[in-house]
Structure 1
Amino acid sequence: MMTNDIRSIIEQEADAVRNIPISERYAEAVDLIVKHVHKQGGTLITAGMGKAGQIAMNMATTFSSTGTPAFFLHPGEAQHGDLGIVRRNDLLLLVSNSGKTLELIELVDLARGLVPDIPFILITSDPQSELARRATLCLPTGAPREVCSLGLTPTTSTTVMTVIGDVLVVGTMDRIGFTSTDYAKRHHGGYLGSKSRQLSGKEAGA
């Protein structure tokens, strides 16, 4: 692989991030998360299949470490009993590039069998898809072209999904006033734990 090829891939992914559609729906999504998790005592439940599922799992762990309790629910396992984690006041955050992932459509139906009015936020490339039409809020990715030479492997799409998740995490942190002290209580080990305790000490001495 030549240097120019590498630069082209990086530039394509960077352009895809720059072209994520920005709207008031991000603020509305943060409002929903704060309302259901921080005001009503619910949990943020993320879900996705395949590579999108891995992104959804990362979102759940990042939200949890920054003060917003979250679980990743595998759509397949949900049909075999894991759906039992869904409760009143919970909120779903679904990730589907196509917006028509069968397992997620089934998950919505099953979840609403337990909690009929459970809302869900959808991250997708197709705002006209079935999941998007049923979503409480839809956050479009901008449908970027995959940098994969076949145009098939989730590459650029997962990069964009990750960034959208980061926007929601940071927006929620800001809304709830999450501090270094709060972070240190949730992340004791490793470099980040040590750094957060140092910052926490500075906050206490300020």
Structure 2
Amino acid sequence: MPSEYTIDQMLQAEIEALRNIPRDNDYEKAIALILERVHDGGGRLITSGMGKAGQIAHNIATTFSSTGTPAYFLHPSEAQHGDLGMVCSSDVMLLISNSGKTREVLELVALARRMYPSLPFILITGNPDSPLSGEVNVCLSTGNPKEVCPLGLTPTTSTTVMTVLGDLLVVSVMQRIGFTYHDYSLRHHGGYLGDKSRELQTEQR
């Protein structure tokens, strides 16, 4: 029978999942790879994943791009139909797969490595002993939280944790490159955030 949760139980489950994100993940190695490949080497950060994990990967790419780290999302299936040509030898790839067994992502790694054997990969996963984990340079575990979905199937808690792991990388890189209000305003011309960044930049002068 499916489990039933109250709103409070769901909130507590999500909070507990965040508390249990492994502290011993090699965050520094992942950050160093992004800095080396993108900010020192002139490459781009490419994110990828299927389904809900792919949506999280797309969001991480746009957040990196808006905060000084050139990044884009590559759909693993579209990669097999020509989009793999967007990948350059100086890039670094950030993959997201909760199971660590996603066929399309495994195929993406093989195809990208056939083009560029030394291309590095970072993985966010709930299964650090998975096939994908054995193919990457850095594996960041989510802690494999139980989904709050009553069927235990729909990506819910897992995608919350994936998003937070992405935030850890984004903010850490922002701090290392000294990203400023001015830098932010150059990338956000319109909207509230653009106006706010220019206002804060003026106040700093």
TM-score bucket (shorter structure): over 0.9
Q: Give the 3-state SS of the residue equivalent to 1:143 in structure 2.
A: coil
Q: Which runs of 4+ in 1 moved over 4 A?
A: none
Displacement of 1:24 in angstroms is 5.6
Percent identity, please. 62
Q: 2:49 maps to what in 1?
A: 48
Q: 2:72 maps to what in 1?
A: 71
Q: 2:145 maps to what in 1?
A: 144
Mapping for residues 32-181 of structure 1, pairs under 5 Å? 32-181=33-182
Q: TM-score, normalised by structure 1?
A: 0.96
Q: Which amino acid aligns with 1:73?
A: L
Distance 2:168 2:44 in 1: 19
Q: For structure 2, which runs of at least 5 residues remain unmatched after alignment?
A: none
Q: 2:29 maps to what in 1?
A: 28
Distance 2:105 2:85 in 1: 16
Q: Give the 3-state SS of the residue equivalent to 1:167 in structure 2.
A: helix
Deviations 1:113-160 (A, max 9, x none): 111110000000000001001110000000000000000000000000
Distance 2:201 2:53 in 1: 34
Q: Which amino acid aligns with 2:77?
A: G
Distance 2:203 2:85 in 1: 42
Mapping for residues 191-206 of structure 1, pairs under 5 Å? 191-203=192-204, 205=205
Displacement of 1:188 in angstroms is 1.1
Indicate if the aligned counterparts of 2:25 and 2:139 stay in contact, CA closer than 8 A: no
- Bigger mean CA offset, 40-49 vs 24-33: 24-33
Name the Cα RMSD after superposition: 0.9
Q: Which amino acid aligns with 2:176?
A: R
Q: 2:186 maps to what in 1?
A: 185
Displacement of 1:34 in angstroms is 0.4
Distance 1:66 1:93 in 2: 17
Distance 2:145 2:88 in 1: 35
Q: For structure 1, which runs of at least 5 residues remain unmatched after alignment?
A: none
Indicate if the aligned counterparts of 2:25 and 2:141 stay in contact, CA closer than 8 A: no
Displacement of 1:64 in angstroms is 0.1
Matched residues, number:
201
Distance 1:173 1:162 in 2: 16
Displacement of 1:23 in angstroms is 2.2
Distance 1:26 1:180 in 2: 25
Q: Give the 3-state SS of the residue equivalent to 1:178 in structure 2.
A: coil
Q: TM-score, normalised by structure 2?
A: 0.96
Distance 2:176 2:25 in 1: 15
Q: 1:14 maps to what in 2?
A: 15
Indicate if the aligned counterparts of 2:25 and 2:140 stay in contact, CA closer than 8 A: no
Distance 1:155 1:37 in 2: 31
